[in-house]
Amino acid sequence: MEIIWLISGVILGGVGSWMIAKFKFASEAKDSEAGLQVEKERVANLQRDADVLKKELQEERANVLGLNNKLSSTEADYRNLEEKLRDQKRELEKLQEKFSLEFKNLANEIFEEKSRKFTDQNKINLGELLNPLREKITEFEKKVEMNSKESLEQSTALREQLKGLRELNQQMSKEAENLTRALKGDTKAQGNWGEFILESVLEKSGLEKGREYLVQESFTNEDGRRFQPDVIIRLPEDKNIIIDSKVSLIAYEKYVAGDEAEKEINLKAHILSIRNHLKGLNLKQYEQLHGVKGLDFILMFVPIEPAFSTAVQSDVQLFNDAYDKNIVIVSPSTLMATLRTIANIWKNEYQSQNALEIARQGGDLYDKFVAFTEDLVKVGNSLDSTQKVYREAMKKLYDGRGNLVNRAKKIKELGAKTSKILDQKLIDRASESE
């Protein structure tokens, strides 16, 4: 739910920015042939309108100040997060260095103590035992280094995204406005243009197609009816957002191209077209589609910025009425801000998943290391036992009265036919023990 509020906040902020822009437009005065009294009334009406506009401007300035304060707070949080990431990287490096040093010292001590007792075959077996552990340690070090590098890259990318967002929005707004006249009355052309703008926003949002969002996927409801939403945005915690880009802008084109006498009629038709599309979206009940999970909002995409701003400025209840239906009306700029926010949420989610994976592999590495030390202890015990058996066998060979070496020597002295000679050192040792 915090994610949804964050997204809603970004969208509302975008709408507020558009409402500020409306005060930059001044109405051109029309020549009037009416009498002096009519002119005075017109001046009085203009004065009242100016007072209202002045009051609204003051309110919008207060809103801008509030948004600037929030931006400063967000930048401070970002700097704190960046510092925290650097601290975590230093701690990971210290832990890695300490762990490697302790392991090296322990391995050296064990190896020095037991190496004199190993045969060639023992050394081969020890190498086979150490190699998997060495590979695990190397893999763990690479993952720690990769995670630290990804954290730094994500921080740098976030800074660049924030820097370029305004330029990108201005560029998209200009492109949309320039192509408005090319779409006169052609519903199919408008649909294709809307899909093109939506695809462009998605490609520049930082989200990955097929992973964080799906395009033109088919779903069915409980009655078996098939629906094909334009875009499904995936969120962490198994939630979805649907983007619809099929709103008609024919009435808006007439509003832009028509004369002054028809502007009011075409403006009402434009707003009515948007409201009718809102009703149609609400009736589709996308939240009941099989495979669509945790749907809290539908984003109704208006691909031309002036068409969006004209509608929400002329019908102040339009945005709220849509919101009551869990539908949010967005333009290219507000949609871009929303998708960039979602992309950063996913980056944080992946970073958290990487940290959990590092912790899991660290625990697995520790368990492997403990098992390795236990095996080394067993090898040492086996060597001790082997040496004990060896000493007992040697005692029987040349220690004490009646040892095997002396008895074999006497047999040879008695005239037994032999082809081999006992080692003189064994004979001397056996003679000393008698």
Q: How confident is the model over 82-125, as pLDDT tens digits?
A: 777 677 667 656 655 654 455 445 445 555 665 555 555 555 55
Q: What is the DSSP letter of 415?
A: T
Per-residue pLDDT, 191: 60
With a CB cutoff of 8 Å and minimum separation 6, the contacts of 239 are 3, 293, 294, 295, 296
The 10s digit of each residue's pLDDT in 130-188 is 566 566 656 655 665 665 566 556 556 555 655 555 555 555 555 555 555 444 545 55
Extract the tokens encoding 214: 């799906």
Q: What percent of the chain has pLDDT over 70?
A: 52
Q: Kindly report the average pLDDT of the chain as a whole number.
A: 72
The first and second tokens of residue 310, run together, are 């004209």
61: CB partners within 8 A, 6+ apart:
none
Contact at 8 Å (CB) between 256 and 310? no
pLDDT of residue 349: 86
Q: Which residue has the tokens 């009265």?
A: 401
- Residue 13 identity: G
- pTM score above 0.75: no
Helix pair angle (404-413, 424-433), 10° resolution: 110
Q: Rank 58-67, 265-274, 355-364, 420-429 by mean pLDDT and report only the highest.
A: 265-274
CA torsion sign for 159, 168, 299, 229 is: negative
3-state SS of the chain: helix, strand, coil percent to 5? 75, 5, 20
Q: For position 91, what pLDDT does the model report?
A: 65
Of 377, 384, 382, 368, the C-alpha closest to 110 is: 377
Instruction: Return all residues near 321 (Cβ < 8 A) that are at least 6 apart.
Output: 275, 278
